Amino acid sequence: MIAETPSTKTSIEAISGNGVSRLTWVTGNNFSGRSAILKKACEHYSNQPAAGIIIPPEIYSALSALVPTVAEELLLHLGGNPDDVSAFQRLAEKWGLAALAERDPYSLSGGEQALLVILCKLALAPTLLAIDGALEQLDPSNLSQVLSAITTDRSLSRPPRFLLTHNGAIVQNGGNAIRQVPATDFSDIERPDKPPPLDINGFEPPRCKEPATIFLKDISFRYPRGKTVFSGLNLKLEPGRIYRLAGANGSGKSTLARILTGILPLSGGEIQVNGKLFNSYVRPGTLARLHFQSPDSQLFEDTVRAELGSLPSKISENAARFAGLGGFLNEHPFDLPFVLRKRLALTLILHTAAPWLIFDEPTLGQDEQTRIVLSSAFQSLAKCGYGIIIVSHNENFADHVASETIHLDKDIK
Amino acid sequence: MMSLTTIRPSSRARALATGIALVGVVATAQPTALALLVAACIGILIVQGKISFYIRFLFRLWLPLAAGLFLVWGLIVRGSPQAGYGSGIAHGLEFAGMVALRLAALAALFQAAVLSLEGLRLAAFLRELGLSPNATATLVSVFNLWPEFARRTDQVVAARCARGLMTDRRLWTRVRQFPWALRTLFVGSLGSSLDRAHRWEAERLPQRLAETVKNQGDSKTAFWAGIVWCFVAAVWTVISLWPK
Amino acid sequence: MNTNVSSDKQSLAPATAAMALVPLGILINLGIGTIVHLLKLPLFVDSVGTILITILIGIRWGAVTGVLSFLIGGVIVNPVLPYFSATQAVIALVAGLFAMRGWFRSIPRTIITGICIGVAAGIVSAPVIIKLFGGITGSGSGFITSFLLASGKKIVESVILTGISCEPVDKTIQCLLAFWLIRTLPKRFRKQLEPLGYLKQNSPLTQ
């Protein structure tokens, strides 16, 4: 990869016009202006339809909602670009989308939606395609495939230039160089004010009142009129430990998280907590609480203050300080950018009082600084007797913080 | 030989046939005509593979409604508007039966006419009726977003549980969730909707949809199938309205 | 502190707003039943979307939302709904006339608005109920009509009395829901929508 020297000043013109490299990675921490750079670069082409396209971190909002299947979504986007049909069909096969052809695009996982949206927006033959954080939803092998296609595939008749932002490592095997440009090098954009970072010194969880040892005995789950997600699962989860749930899409990671939280009822088997039978469905949120991948469904109030007010009062002050949201207490949660909404949603679960806390993709959209603090927070909670479960594609983060990995697609007895 | 499932009437013929039959359904006083229509529509729904939708409607909506009608007209009012209120249980039950049959026929007619229009076929249908690309996209998106909306609703209710804001499933606890769940659902959906609309404009997706469905136009088979549908609908309507 | 770089700066053309909000309004009209069903509540609300879209982007689009909801609902929910499309248009009209004058700004005003919408809806629905059902549907309000008939009242009188006694309660609940929802809209949406409908007239006085 070619890194720009810090002294090089770069303009939006230079990377969105006839830049040197086909793919430019705009690097930097949260609030360094990366998203603004991508947006402004796309605005450069706003006088031509679909010439500058941006894919946001909330992938589902980039789906068209005009067709019911994956195949038709691609067909819709290809409509004006018949020359590349075979090239796109080949890419769709390679990225595993052909197997999902009859599926509803909204029913796909985050990673699958990311692949579909990238392919569809490529099919519009833009001059510039900006991918703002969407690549974080891809697992490492898909990420590598996409980058390889972006940088080396010559079968597309009019390949665009690419700009991307990505929190995490990009490892590319061979192929053309990815040009890295720090966001701080850009002088001609309006930067947002940077809020305070997460403050681990503000994180003081109380000791867990009732640490809970969970024993899942021969549990099974099947959706009504649907497939069996898992059966005969036996697992012991001990408090004070951090577990990582791993497995392919459809192996039951989210399902297990929802069963423990009480969102879904068991189809078979039983849950024992400290040796006693426990029905999580009848008492949701008492054994475990869950942070969803997307924060938007988890925020219910009209101010950040009211949202944090759902926590006990002393804890809510600490939570505001920890999250760096002290300056946003009167803001509507949905007026915050995605990164801060995610922080708020994470903070609400980190400071809640259930014996087990489950986090689905906690590092999505978060920079390295934030990940370090999250890692410390999880470890503090574990030391206080809470049990932590993480579901994450970010193997570096998950392997670093988790003491044990549970593979759900292997038979656990 | 062409399979039945591939023979589809043209859009305009479909709309016309439905309109003609609708006149008969609303105006007829002959239960046998309505029953015949229901049977024919059930046949169409079976061929289209959409019969389960109609059966679910019958059990979940129609049966309770029909039971209510029989109770009210048969046992409470004990009469009918034509024979006079209080004219007798038999008149009441007969009237209730006619209304229930008419509702079943209305549902069967609408569903047979529209349910087979999925995906791009629905867009083609609307375009052929003369709707603009933007109007077509707006209507089509309702059907595509319906499952997503239901999923999002499910997610929001699940989130109340996941945050420990709904710690039991008693009625009053569930009632208390409603305003907050609705607000989050609305605000989240509003944001996505606005972003989507901006994207439709920037990427001209409604126009692409119109282009994509342009060549899904009607063949000769569809034209003649449409003629047959309209003819059959007209004959049935005339028979159903024929004075006894 | 300005940390937002999202679509808050984009102005919203009326046509774009309609493309965004009409489907949402339709989904809310038809879909609130999903929340109600998931929570297993003994409620029925079918016009919140119509009222909301009217306040947000005007009477015309509110009426389109209501009418389309009931036409689509006629296929996938209840075949009787299309016959009450005119009622939806009237709901949008009355809601819009009140919203223009800021009658969704406070709870007491919203209640009065709901009552007026309910009375209008009850009167407009009466001919359809009489023609299609003979005056009595199989739902809860039908029992009220039947008792009025049994007490000697004429059918038209009974249906209208039922309508103007039941509908105001239902429509008031729905107006209060719409009030609740618009009151707490995020600023970035408010800025985009205020030029298009009656949101500004109905903002809480403290904002």
Phi, psi of B160 (to 5 degrees): -60, -40
Rounded Cα gap, residues A24 and A177, in angstroms: 9
Question: Does residue B131 fall inside a structural domain?
Answer: yes
Please, which residues 127-186 of chain C have a Cβ atom closer than 8 Å to chain B? 132-139, 142-143, 146-147, 149-150, 155, 177, 180-181, 184-186
**CA nearest neighbour of C150 among B68, B71, B75, B85:** B85
**With an 8 Å Cβ cutoff, are B183 and C181 in contact?**
yes
What is the predicted pLDDT for the residue at C2? 42
Paired strand residues for A113: none
Q: Is the dihedral of CA B210, B216, B220, B225 positive or negative?
A: negative
**With an 8 Å Cβ cutoff, are C23 and B194 in contact?**
no
Question: Does residue C6 fall inside a structural domain?
Answer: no
Rounded Cα gap, residues A179 and B157, in angstroms: 44
Indicate if the pLDDT at residue A176 is higher than 60.
Answer: no
The residue behind tokens 């606890």 is B173
User: How far off is chain A from B186, nearest CA to CA, in Å?
Assistant: 10
State the residue range of the domain holding C85.
12-202
**With an 8 Å Cβ cutoff, are C2 and A195 in contact?**
no
**With an 8 Å Cβ cutoff, are A66 and B211 in contact?**
no
Average pLDDT over residues C64-87: 86
Residue B200 with chain C: CB contacts under 8 Å: 16, 19
pLDDT in tens, B9-28: 777 888 889 899 989 998 88
Q: In what order do the strands lie in the sheet with A52-55?
A: A2-3, A179-182, A23-27, A161-165, A128-132, A52-55
Average pLDDT over residues A287-298: 93
User: How far off is chain B from C27, nearest CA to CA, in Å?
Assistant: 7
Q: How far is CA B199 from the centre of its chain?
A: 29
What is the predicted pLDDT for the residue at A231? 86
List the CATH code of the domain at A2-185. 3.40.50.300
**Kind and range of the H or E element at A145?**
helix A140-152
Phi, psi of A405 (to 5 degrees): -110, 130
pLDDT in tens, B200-226: 999 999 999 998 888 665 577 777 888
* Nearest chain A alpha carbon to C23: A65
Query: Does residue B107 share a domain with residue B160?
Result: no
Q: What is the dihedral of CA C60, C61, C62, C67, to 10 degrees?
A: 90
Rounded Cα gap, residues A218 and A384, in angstroms: 29
Residue A337 with chain C: CB contacts under 8 Å: 3-6
Long-range contacts made by residues C146-152, C-beta under 8 angstroms, separation at least 24? C146/B72, C146/B76, C146/B77, C147/B76, C149/B77, C149/B85, C150/B76, C150/B77, C150/B85, C150/B86
Domain boundary among B96, B116, B136: B116
**With an 8 Å Cβ cutoff, are A297 and B123 in contact?**
no
Q: Domain locations in chain A?
A: 2-185, 200-407
Indicate the pLDDT class of residue C42, thresholds 50, 70 and 90. Answer: very low
C70 contacts: CB under 8 Å, gap ≥ 6: C29, C81, C82, C84, C85, C88
B118 against B203, higher pLDDT: B203
A252 DSSP assignment? S
Return the SS3 of A355.
Answer: coil
Question: Does residue B239 fall inside a structural domain?
Answer: no
Count of A–C CB contacts within 8 Å?
39
Residue A79 with chain B: CB contacts under 8 Å: 208-209, 211-212
Total Cβ atoms within 10 A of residue A204: 14
- Pairing relation of β-strands A356-360 and A214-222? unpaired
Domain boundary among B116, B142, B166: B116
Number of domains in chain C: 1
Residue A64 with chain B: CB contacts under 8 Å: 196, 199-200, 205, 209
**With an 8 Å Cβ cutoff, are B192 and A79 in contact?**
no
Indicate if the pLDDT at residue A104 is higher than 70.
Answer: yes
**Inter-residue contact A378 to A337 (CB < 8 Å):** no
Q: Which of A98-107, A399-408, C27-36, C124-133 has the highest mean pLDDT?
A: A98-107
Phi, psi of A3 (to 5 degrees): -100, 135
* Nearest chain A alpha carbon to C183: A302
Query: Cα angle at C189 between C185 and C194, to 5 degrees?
Result: 95
Please, which residues 2-21 of chain C have a Cβ atom closer than 8 Å to chain A? 2-6
The structure's pTM equals: 0.87
- Helix segments in chain B, DSSP class H: 11-27, 31-48, 51-57, 63-69, 89-114, 120-128, 133-162, 171-203, 205-214, 220-241
**With an 8 Å Cβ cutoff, are A192 and C184 in contact?**
no
Rounded Cα gap, residues C105 and C202, in angstroms: 4
* Nearest chain B alpha carbon to A332: B187
**What is the Cα Rg of chain C in Å?**
18
Query: Does residue B128 share a domain with residue B110?
Result: no
What is the predicted pLDDT for the residue at A6? 37
Average pLDDT over residues A152-176: 73
Burial category of A82 from C-beta neighbours within 10 Å (exposed 0-12, middle 13-18, buried 19 and up)? exposed
What is the predicted pLDDT for the residue at A21? 62
Question: Does residue C7 fall inside a structural domain?
Answer: no
B243 contacts: CB under 8 Å, gap ≥ 6: none
Q: In chain C, pLDDT over 90 holds for what percent of residues?
A: 49
**With an 8 Å Cβ cutoff, are A290 and B160 in contact?**
no
Average pLDDT over residues A320-340: 91
Average pLDDT over residues A93-101: 90
Total Cβ atoms within 10 A of residue B224: 14
**With an 8 Å Cβ cutoff, are C27 and B61 in contact?**
no
Indicate if the pLDDT at residue A250 is higher than 80.
Answer: no
**CA nearest neighbour of B4 among B227, B221, B241, B149:** B221
**With an 8 Å Cβ cutoff, are C35 and B201 in contact?**
no
What is the predicted pLDDT for the residue at C4? 39
Query: Does residue B148 share a domain with residue B90?
Result: no
Task: Please give the full DSSP string across chain C, using - where no structure is assigned.
Answer: -----SGGG----HHHHHHHHHHHHHHHHHHHHHHHHHTT-S-----HHHHHHHHHH-HHHHHHHHHHHHHHHHHHT-TTGGGGHHHHHHHHHHHHHHHHTTTTSSHHHHHHHHHHHHHHHHHHHHHHHHHHHTT--SSHHHHHHHHHHHTT--HHHHHHHHHHHHHHHHHHHHHHHHHHHHHT--HHHHHHHTTTSSTGGGS-TT-
**With an 8 Å Cβ cutoff, are A335 and C2 in contact?**
no
Task: Please give the full DSSP string across B50-81, using - where no structure is assigned.
Answer: -HHHHHHHIIIIIHHHHHHHIIIIIIII-SBT
> The domain that contains C124 carries what CATH number?
1.10.1760.20
**Inter-residue contact A290 to A354 (CB < 8 Å):** no
What is the predicted pLDDT for the residue at A141? 80
Distances (CA, A) of C150 to A189, C128, C157: 75, 21, 12
Average pLDDT over residues A51-80: 90
Rounded Cα gap, residues B175 and C36, in angstroms: 9
Query: Does residue B206 share a domain with residue B109?
Result: no
Question: Does residue B240 fall inside a structural domain?
Answer: no
Min mean pLDDT across A88-102, A184-198, B29-43, B152-166 is at: A184-198
**With an 8 Å Cβ cutoff, are A332 and C184 in contact?**
yes
Indicate the pLDDT class of residue A178, thresholds 50, 70 and 90. Answer: confident
Task: Please give the full DSSP string across C8-57, using - where no structure is assigned.
Answer: GG----HHHHHHHHHHHHHHHHHHHHHHHHHTT-S-----HHHHHHHHHH
User: How far off is chain C from A302, nearest CA to CA, in Å?
Assistant: 6
What is the predicted pLDDT for the residue at A410? 59
Q: In chain B, pLDDT over 70 holds for what percent of residues?
A: 95
* Nearest chain B alpha carbon to C176: B179
* Nearest chain C alpha carbon to B196: C20
* Chain mean pLDDT for chain B: 86
Question: Does residue B225 fall inside a structural domain?
Answer: no
Question: Does residue B230 fall inside a structural domain?
Answer: no
Rounded Cα gap, residues A132 and A359, in angstroms: 23
Indicate if the pLDDT at residue A169 is higher than 90.
Answer: no
What is the predicted pLDDT for the residue at B235? 92
Indicate if the pLDDT at residue C166 is higher than 60.
Answer: yes
Query: Does residue B171 share a domain with residue B81?
Result: no
Question: Does residue B143 fall inside a structural domain?
Answer: yes
**With an 8 Å Cβ cutoff, are C6 and A337 in contact?**
yes
What is the predicted pLDDT for the residue at C3? 43
**Inter-residue contact A297 to B149 (CB < 8 Å):** no
**CA nearest neighbour of C52 among C77, C27, C84:** C27
Query: Does residue B105 share a domain with residue B135?
Result: no
**Inter-residue contact C32 to B182 (CB < 8 Å):** yes
Domain A200-407 has CATH 2.40.30.20: no
Indicate if the pLDDT at residue A36 is higher than 70.
Answer: yes
pLDDT in tens, C18-39: 999 999 999 999 887 555 555 5
Question: Does residue B234 fall inside a structural domain?
Answer: no
pLDDT in tens, B182-205: 899 999 999 999 999 999 999 999
- Pairing relation of β-strands A268-273 and A276-278? antiparallel
Residue C23 with chain B: CB contacts under 8 Å: 138-139, 141-142, 145, 193
- Pairing relation of β-strands A242-246 and A288-291? unpaired
User: How far off is chain A from C34, nearest CA to CA, in Å?
Assistant: 16
Indicate the pLDDT class of residue B60, thresholds 50, 70 and 90. Answer: confident
Rounded Cα gap, residues B99 and C96, in angstroms: 35
Nearest by CB to residue A192, choosing from C3, C184, C188, is C3
- Pairing relation of β-strands A214-222 and A268-273? antiparallel
Residue B163 with chain A: CB contacts under 8 Å: 285, 289, 298, 310, 348-349, 352
**Inter-residue contact A83 to A156 (CB < 8 Å):** no
Rounded Cα gap, residues B75 and B77, in angstroms: 6
ipTM rounded to 2 decimals: 0.86
Q: Which chains touch C (3 or more CB pairs under 8 A)?
A: A, B
**With an 8 Å Cβ cutoff, are A76 and B156 in contact?**
no
Indicate if the pLDDT at residue A373 is higher than 70.
Answer: yes
A200-407 has the same fold as A2-185 = yes
Query: Does residue B150 share a domain with residue B81?
Result: no
Nearest by CB to residue C1, choosing from A190, A327, A334, is A327
A75 contacts: CB under 8 Å, gap ≥ 6: A67, B120, B212
Indicate if the pLDDT at residue A105 is higher than 60.
Answer: yes
Query: Does residue B98 share a domain with residue B35?
Result: yes
Q: What is the dihedral of CA B229, B233, B239, B241, to 10 degrees?
A: -170
**Inter-residue contact B151 to A252 (CB < 8 Å):** no
Question: Does residue B3 fall inside a structural domain?
Answer: no
Nearest by CB to residue C72, choosing from B109, B142, B149, is B142
Indicate if the pLDDT at residue A262 is higher than 90.
Answer: yes
Residue A32 with chain C: CB contacts under 8 Å: none
What is the predicted pLDDT for the residue at A63? 94
Number of domains in chain B: 2
User: How far off is chain C from B116, nearest CA to CA, in Å?
Assistant: 11
State whether residue C26 sits within 8 Å of chain B by CB.
Answer: yes
What is the predicted pLDDT for the residue at B207? 93
**CA nearest neighbour of A20 among A158, A144, A157, A161:** A161
Count of B–C CB contacts within 8 Å?
162
Residue B103 with chain C: CB contacts under 8 Å: 79-80
**With an 8 Å Cβ cutoff, are A50 and B120 in contact?**
no
Query: Does residue B101 share a domain with residue B59?
Result: yes
State the residue range of the domain holding B210.
124-214
Residue A316 with chain B: CB contacts under 8 Å: none
**With an 8 Å Cβ cutoff, are A195 and C1 in contact?**
yes
C151 against C125, higher pLDDT: C125
Rounded Cα gap, residues A177 and A170, in angstroms: 12
Q: How far is CA B112 from the centre of its chain?
A: 9
